[in-house]
Structure 1
Amino acid sequence: MTRTEKLLPPVLSPADIQKFLGIGENKAYELLASSQFHVARVGRRLFVSRTVFIEWLEGKSEAKEVNRRK
């Protein structure tokens, strides 16, 4: 587990993402609505796996997407 991963809970809420990235609430929800990574919805609440978020942050999710297209 990387140092960054240790700073985050296993499942992230929009508030966790907002705090970690230093962005506003609206931007956090825009990011979650952007389809850049898988978001789980439980009722009206949104959640993202820490692993998926870190891969997106490090650009690893883009590499996977490029490989799928080939």
Structure 2
Amino acid sequence: MNEILSKPVLNVEDIQKYLEIGRRQSYELCNSGAFRVLRIGQRIKVPTQSFLEWVNGNN
């Protein structure tokens, strides 16, 4: 798990692994607006700091 959070930017698969949820749920979460998401073409990238703030309830 630590190797996932050591990256400055996460992708949907990283979030899926960290939260132990399905791929569809991971995409729905990224599209929910719960944390900051960067879209590069069709790719979704999430700043790790933004994701951790959401996980810790600091949003």
With the length of structure 2 as denominator, give the TM-score of the two structures: 0.90
Q: Is the 8 A contact 1:41 1:47 kept in 2?
A: yes
Sequence identity percentage? 43
Q: Is the 8 A contact 1:5 1:54 kept in 2?
A: no
Change (3 A) 1:50 1:5: farther
Unaligned runs of at least 5 residues, structure 1:
62-70
2: distance between equivalents of 1:15 and 1:6? Answer: 13
Q: Which residue of 2 aligns with 1:28?
A: 26
Unaligned runs of at least 5 residues, structure 2:
none
Q: Which residue of 2 aligns with 1:67?
A: none
Q: Is the 8 A contact 2:4 2:10 kept in 1?
A: no
Q: Is the 8 A contact 1:5 1:50 kept in 2?
A: no
As a proportion of its length, which structure holds more helix? Answer: 1
RMSD: 1.5
2: distance between equivalents of 1:42 and 1:56? Answer: 21
As a proportion of its length, which structure holds more strand? Answer: 2
Q: Which residue of 1 aligns with 2:12?
A: 14
Q: Are 2:48 and 1:53 aligned?
A: no
1: distance between equivalents of 2:43 and 2:29? Answer: 14
Larger gyration radius, structure 1 or structure 2: 1
Pairwise CA distance, 1:7? 4.3
